[in-house]
């Protein structure tokens, strides 16, 4: 998609489709209260072109509700599309992001390949920078479709997207916000494209290659290691998962060092991003049911989010050091696979203390095993603050459904930054508890800990397992199993990979 920013007056823009936002300004309640749709543009010609349809009462400006006008009077555009943001109290930048995606997805099946979207005016306090960024993000996210391998695929991608911004005294800030939105949208789609790849196409080795190619393009340092490095580092937990597959594992390490970092204070934070990269998960010897197992190509969504975050970090250049570790492997049930009852030894943090021993209760609880060594390695490389992301447990979906993802943390100040990041990202997380009572559940009779704690509190038990390896380092764990895949097509996003929690991780990093 070719993207550009324009400040040309809306009536004179020649385009197949001009889209504008609308909001319901009705604040009264009760059965007699009728929606009051209002266009979010100060342009009188656009207002006049839409006046008749708004007066009918048929269009209510509900969230992502659309109405299309052909040959709108007084406009050079061939079509005028109005897209709703819902009630005025809920007309946030997040609503703008979704509505921009709705505009793009409206155009795609109608073979409209070029469009102009007007940045909303009025009713929003402050400068339009956040709205500009959100609109660009939403349009790019809306352009993604998962039908990569269909032989009869008709590429309906939008060729040209123009965001029409009102004249601003701070044009440079608007341009910066637009560029930021494009980077974020494209990076989220980068993560979605990785997650969408089938397991036979995206092996751990190929995931490492994709990460290295991206790193070279944006100027990140990248190392991709495999079996020998795991043995050198004594990553017994990670290797215990990888040993059951013919495909070798990949230990992906990405580093971002901002300009002038050597001039910073000695106690400057180093952020460690750790992602689960299971490119296909059969469950191993504790094999999964056949139903929906094909979805298990998405079990590397946490790793994809970390790789995408590093792409955006390299382009947006926050002033903080970042290290990303992605532990990629297949979880397969061949003759070399680990068995329930086996005891594995995780990576030691240093030579003075041996690694933790782990009793394997269920080989399908493999994500926490690779993350255990990933968290330890990030700490060994100097990370002072940690965040990990993984499609870790079905239990988190039982607890929170498919709306909120689970979040855990051992440090309130670190989590407060993440909570603030959610206000920018628009992604939905709910903090769940940790505690010694939960930690007791994963104590083993034969080893230090066991990799599952039974039926109850499964997402919390998994988080407590990871807590053992984060120790006192400020740490956040994100269990995204319920939200990493969009179950049904929505007006603003296609069915398939969502890209969650990429935006939240990025904003958490930028908060430093």
Bridge partner residues of 330 (DSSP) = 280
Q: Check if the beta carbon of residue 329 is closer than 8 Å to that of residue 245.
A: yes
HSE-CB for 264 with a 13 A CA cutoff: 14
Which pLDDT score is estimated for 154? 80
Rounded Cα–Cα distance for residues 199 and 243 (Å): 17
Residues that are catalytic: 288, 368
Distances, alpha carbon 364 to alpha carbons 10, 75, 331, in Å: 56, 59, 8
H-only helix segments in 299-366: 301-316
pLDDT tens sequence across 227-265: 999 999 999 999 999 999 999 999 999 999 999 876 556
pLDDT higher than 90, residue 267: no
- Closest listed residue to residue 160, CA positions, set 12, 16, 356, 7: 16
- Catalogue the long-range contacts made by 436-443 (C-beta closer than 8 Å, 24 or more residues apart): 438/463, 438/464, 439/464, 439/467, 439/468
**347, 355 Cβ separation under 8 angstroms:** yes
How many residues make up the chain in this entry? Answer: 512
- Find out whether 181 and 137 touch, Cβ atoms under 8 Å: yes
pLDDT at 47 over 90: yes
DSSP label of 347: P
The residue-averaged pLDDT of 500-507 equals 98
Q: How far apart are CA 62 and CA 85, in angstroms?
A: 6
Tell how strand 114-118 and strand 160-164 pair up.
parallel
Distance, CA of 433 to chain centre: 23
User: What is the model's pTM?
Assistant: 0.97
pLDDT for res 263:
57
Express as a percent the part of the chain with pLDDT over 90. 91
Q: Looking at residues 154-180, what average pLDDT do you find?
A: 91
Digit-coded pLDDT (tens) for 292-351: 999 999 999 999 999 999 999 999 999 999 999 999 999 999 999 999 999 999 999 999
> Which candidate, 142, 144, 95, 143, places its Cα nearest to that of 120?
95
Domains in the chain, CATH or no CATH each: 2-184 (3.40.220.10), 214-510 (3.40.630.10)
Where do we find the tokens 């990799």?
451
């Amino acid at each position: 998609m070719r993207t550009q920013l324009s400040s040309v007056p809306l009536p004179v823009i020649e385009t197949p489709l001009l889209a504008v936002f609308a909001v319901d300004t009705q604040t009264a309640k009760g059965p007699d209260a009728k929606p009051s749709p209002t266009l979010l543009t100060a342009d009188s010609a656009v207002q006049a072109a839409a006046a008749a349809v708004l007066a009918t009462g048929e269009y209510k400006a509900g969230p992502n509700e659309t109405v299309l006008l052909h040959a709108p009077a007084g406009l050079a555009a061939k079509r005028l599309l109005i897209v709703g943001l819902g009630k005025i109290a809920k007309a946030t930048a997040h609503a703008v992001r979704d509505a921009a995606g709705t505009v793009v997805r409206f155009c795609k099946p109608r073979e409209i390949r070029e469009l102009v979207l007007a940045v909303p005016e009025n009713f929003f306090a402050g400068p339009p920078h956040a709205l500009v960024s959100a609109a660009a993000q939403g349009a790019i996210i809306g352009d993604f479709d998962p039908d990569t391998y269909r032989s009869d695929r008709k590429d309906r991608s939008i060729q040209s997207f123009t965001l029409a911004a009102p004249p601003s005294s701070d044009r440079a800030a608007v341009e910066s916000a637009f560029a930021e939105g494009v980077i974020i949208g494209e990076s989220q789609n980068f993560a979605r494209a990785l997650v969408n790849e089938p397991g036979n196409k995206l092996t751990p080795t190929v995931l490492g290659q994709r990460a290295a190619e991206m790193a070279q393009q944006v100027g990140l340092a990248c190392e991709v290691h495999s079996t020998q490095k795991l043995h050198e580092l004594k990553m017994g937990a990670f290797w215990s998962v990888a040993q059951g597959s013919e495909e070798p594992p990949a230990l992906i390490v990405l580093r971002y060092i901002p300009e002038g970092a050597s001039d910073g204070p000695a106690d400057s934070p180093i952020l460690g991003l750790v992602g689960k990269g299971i490119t296909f998960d059969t469950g191993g010897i504790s094999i999964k049911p056949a139903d929906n197992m094909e979805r298990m190509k998405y079990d590397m969504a946490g790793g994809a989010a970390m790789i995408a975050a590093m792409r955006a970090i390299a382009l947006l250049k926050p002033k903080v050091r970042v290290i990303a570790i992605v532990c990629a492997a297949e979880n397969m049930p061949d003759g070399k696979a680990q068995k329930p009852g086996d005891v594995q030894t995780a990576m030691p943090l240093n030579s003075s203390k041996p690694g933790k021993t782990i009793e394997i209760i269920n080989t399908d609880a493999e994500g926490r095993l690779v993350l255990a060594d990933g968290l330890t390695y990030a700490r060994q490389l100097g990370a002072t603050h940690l965040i990990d992301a993984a499609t870790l447990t079905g239990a988190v979906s039982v607890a929170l459904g498919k709306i909120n993802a689970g979040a855990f943390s051992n440090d309130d100040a670190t989590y407060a930054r993440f909570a603030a990041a959610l206000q920018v990202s628009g992604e939905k997380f709910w903090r769940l508890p940790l505690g010694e009572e939960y930690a007791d559940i994963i104590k083993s009779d034969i080893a230090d800990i066991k990799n599952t704690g039974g039926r109850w509190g499964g997402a919390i038990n998994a988080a407590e397992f990871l807590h053992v390896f984060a120790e006192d380092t400020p740490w956040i764990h994100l269990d995204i199993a319920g939200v990493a895949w969009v179950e049904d097509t929505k007006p603003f996003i296609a069915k398939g990979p969502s890209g969650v929690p990429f935006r939240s991780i990025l904003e958490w990093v930028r908060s430093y």
